[in-house]
Structure 1
Amino acid sequence: MLGDNLYLVIMLAGVGILALAVNYVITSREQMSEAKRDRLTWLSTQAEHTLHALAILKEAGCRQDIVDKLNQHAMALIEEISLLAPESELMTEVSQLKESSDRSRPDKTRFNSDRAVKRAQIYINFAEKLIIQMAKGGKMTGQLARTYQQELYWLNVSLVADAHQNQANNLLEAGDKQTALTHLRHAKAVLVRATAPQRQKQPRLDELQAQIDKLQPKRTWGGGALAESLDDYLNEQN
């Protein structure tokens, strides 16, 4: 009787251990599956944003070394996706997006609308943040990251100024000088406010000022020290 009870206890214990083992395996697989899904979701978002940013940077005429560095990051993301889900719909979508990004070429006419400019700014800002993350991850030096940040900042500023200048040129062709002048002034204001070296801004400012003066010539002041001082002040502001 005692032996039968002992056998029953051992059998129940064995069943319990087996149930725990099965439950552990199932839970582990579920956790791994969930972790894989979460990782793929993150990779999908990062790859999509990076590839869109690359297309924008190429169209805006960004420095090639910056494009190359971000392209390396995009390739690493795509490679991990191919390892985790090689035959998935996600892999197909990302591959198509990569091909589209690779075909992008410099074309600033793509930024002639407010919506296009705002979209470009979003992805240039994303690229700036990505550069910081890559530097923190040891993928580039801090000095190089700062240089790239400055380049992307100036690209962002130039993009907005170019858009206003292009719109002004289009309006001039349509005969709307007053609205064209407004856009030129906006372009100048964007450059004046930019925290970039004056030597970098000055050629663009001179170009814009020449266009502004052509549409609205400077006033001719009478002689006298006051007039000369005022004229000097206005020239300094320009």
Structure 2
Amino acid sequence: MLGDNLYLVILLAGVGILALVVNYILTTREQQSEARRERLNWLQTQAEHTLSALAILKETGCRQDIVDKLNQHAMALIEEISLLAPDSELMTQVGDLKETSDRSRPDRTRFNSDRAVKRAQIYINFAEKLIIQMAKAGKMTGQLARTYQQELYWLNVSLVADAHQHQATRLMDMGDKHTALSHLKHAKAVLVRAGVPQRQKQPKLDELQVSIDRIQPKRDWGAGALADSLDDYLNDSP
């Protein structure tokens, strides 16, 4: 009788231990599966945004070293996706995006509408934030990251100015000089406010001023310092 009870106790203990082991394995697998899903969702978002940003940067004629650095980041994301979900629909989608990005070429004519410019700005801003994250992760020096940030900032500014200039040209061809002049002055104001060295923006400012003067010739106030000052003020006003 005592032996039967002891056997029963051992059997129950064994069943309990087995149940705990099975529960632990199932719980661990669920946690791993959930962690994998979360990681894949994050990788998908990052890869899609990075590849879209790369396409925009290539179309806007961004510096090649910036493109190369972001492309390295995109490849690392794709490689991790291929390890976690090699035959998944996600891998196919990301692969298609990568091919589209690789085919992108400089083409500023794509950014002549407000919608296209806004979309480009979103991805340029994303690229700028990504550069900061990469620097914090030790993937580039802080100095290089600041240089890239300045380049992306100027790319953003010049993109907006160029879009206004294109609109002005189109409106001039339609005979709407007043609205064209407004676009040119907006472009000039964007450049004047830009926080970059004067030598960097001066060529574009000079080009815009020629177009503005063609529509609105400088007034002849006669000789004198006061007249010159007034003339400069009127031309510099956005």
What is the root-mean-square deviation of aligned Cα atoms in Å?
Answer: 1.4
TM-score, structure 2 normalization: 0.96
Q: Provide the C-alpha distance between the structure 2 equivalents of 1:170 and 1:227, rounded to a whole number of angstroms.
A: 33
Q: Provide the C-alpha distance between the structure 2 equivalents of 1:36 and 1:236, rounded to a whole number of angstroms.
A: 58
**Residue 177 of structure 1: how far off its partner (Å):** 1.0
**Residue 2 of structure 1: how far off its partner (Å):** 1.8
1:68 corresponds in structure 2 to 68
Q: Which blocks of at least 5 consecutive residues in structure 2 are unaligned? A: none
Structure 1 consecutive aligned stretches of length 4 or more whose deviation exceeds 4 Å: 232-238
Q: Provide the C-alpha distance between the structure 1 equivalents of 2:237 and 2:53, rounded to a whole number of angstroms.
A: 36
Q: Provide the C-alpha distance between the structure 1 equivalents of 2:228 and 2:66, rounded to a whole number of angstroms.
A: 48
Q: Does 1:133 align with 2:137?
A: no
Aligned length: 238
2:44 corresponds in structure 1 to 44
2:178 corresponds in structure 1 to 178
1:81 corresponds in structure 2 to 81
1:5 corresponds in structure 2 to 5
1:92 corresponds in structure 2 to 92
Other structure's SS at 2:125 match: helix
Q: Which blocks of at least 5 consecutive residues in structure 1 are unaligned? A: none
**Residue 218 of structure 1: how far off its partner (Å):** 1.3
Q: Provide the C-alpha distance between the structure 2 equivalents of 1:228 and 1:67, rounded to a whole number of angstroms.
A: 46
Distance 1:228-1:87 versus aligned 2 partners, 3 A rule: closer
Q: Provide the C-alpha distance between the structure 2 equivalents of 1:236 and 1:84, rounded to a whole number of angstroms.
A: 58
**Deviations, residues 89-113 of structure 1 (Å, cap 9, x unaligned):** 0000000000000000000010011
Distance 1:229-1:115 versus aligned 2 partners, 3 A rule: closer
Distance 1:30-1:200 versus aligned 2 partners, 3 A rule: same
Instruction: State whether residues 219 and 231 of structure 2, in contact with CA within 8 Å, keep that contact through their aligned partners in structure 1.
Output: no
Q: Does 1:53 align with 2:53?
A: yes
Distance 1:229-1:47 versus aligned 2 partners, 3 A rule: closer
2:187 corresponds in structure 1 to 187
Q: Provide the C-alpha distance between the structure 2 equivalents of 1:235 and 1:183, rounded to a whole number of angstroms.
A: 15
Give the percent of matched residue pairs that are identical in Structure 1 and Structure 2: 83
1:112 corresponds in structure 2 to 112
**Deviations, residues 213-236 of structure 1 (Å, cap 9, x unaligned):** 110011111445533443354466
Q: Provide the C-alpha distance between the structure 2 equivalents of 1:224 and 1:91, rounded to a whole number of angstroms.
A: 71
